[in-house]
A = this chain, B = another copy of it.
């Protein structure tokens, strides 16, 4: 069965995936037996196009680069909105890559529910719906005998959820600790180099790591959302963002950073989920980590997670936590996992 992909949301991540799939079509077929077409793309701003026989990806990329929208794509059915694209097109896999909303989960939540209810597999990088409604979505996927995968919601393409759920299958995980927000880790790294918090933040903004309003990053909200996802998905718990004890890095001074260093420690914004006596506690806090710990040496915008397990003790993964191609890779890994499952390849 050929994979017929519908992409909902053609921002950086969706476009990153299209670029990878276009560049690697031959290699993916040869190495993984992965045979696909992108048959539909729908984006509220860039427009929508559906061609049952598959879109020409070179044309899509070219036209988006030159014109910024799909208006002049030369063939296919036009202007199906996202819901009609999910429901009415001949797709068996929906890639949900619309902007995340961590309060309502919309529009991603409705997109994902609709796709699953229509017996279409879903791959997404959208944190909101997973953080808010993982249990419900998982149930919906199971009932409809389709898959829901979302590696990219934590650490972008660096294996985090697939690592713990699949490669570490069989282990009991009692604790997850990590650096899951690149912006704050970049700021703390720059402060260790001697910059003030304000100067480090300004540099992060200049490089595109931090938004003009940096609250979501520096107050720990982004890390807290990822912590909720890990608690729900890995620990089987059902917690909300309000359940996460959360302190950001705005109170950290150059002096704090210097003093920690003198004691052979580094201040890191550590996300933590811990299971003890069947209770799960989730926190995001700045902490002094000893330099001998793998997380202490994760610098700049890089992310990392340490899983404490019964069979292996600590296992740590370190890699990028954001980026267009990096997050596109998360979608690709999930799509190839689906391909393995569906084709027993």
Contact = CB atoms under 8 A, between A and B. Distances in A.
A108 B147 CA distance: 37
B312 A315 contact: no
Contacts of A172: 27
Contacts of A332: 169-170, 311
A171 B329 contact: yes
Contacts of A318: 294, 314-318
A149 to B, nearest CB: 12
Interface string A321-345: 0000110110011011100111010
Interface string A243-285: 0000000000000000000000000000000000000000000
Interface stretch (A50-58, A87-95, A157-165): A157-165
Contacts of A316: 316-319
Contacts of A342: 344
A169 B311 contact: no
B169 A163 contact: no
Contact of A167 (B159, B171, B299): B159
A337 B294 contact: no
Nearest to A307: B319
A28 interface: yes
A116 B20 CA distance: 35
A259 to B, nearest CB: 21
Contacts of A213: none
A320 B313 contact: yes
Nearest to A161: B167
Interface string A7-20: 00000000000001
A65 interface: no
Interface string A110-132: 00000000000000000000000
A336 B325 CA distance: 30
A169 to B, nearest CB: 4
A313 B320 CA distance: 8
A153 to B, nearest CB: 15
Nearest to A336: B169
A60 B162 CA distance: 34
Interface in A146-181: 151, 156-159, 162-163, 166-172
A319 B313 contact: yes
Given A157-B311, A311-B326, A341-B340, A168 B333 contact: yes
14 contacts: A20-B311, A27-B172, A32-B170, A156-B312, A163-B167, A169-B332, A169-B336, A294-B298, A296-B297, A311-B328, A312-B319, A313-B319, A316-B318, A341-B341
Interface of A: 20, 24, 27-28, 32, 151, 156-159, 162-163, 166-172, 291-292, 294, 296-299, 311-320, 325-326, 328-329, 332-333, 335-337, 340-342, 344
Given A163-B163, A291-B297, A311-B328, 8 more contacts: A32-B170, A162-B167, A166-B333, A169-B332, A292-B299, A311-B326, A311-B329, A315-B320
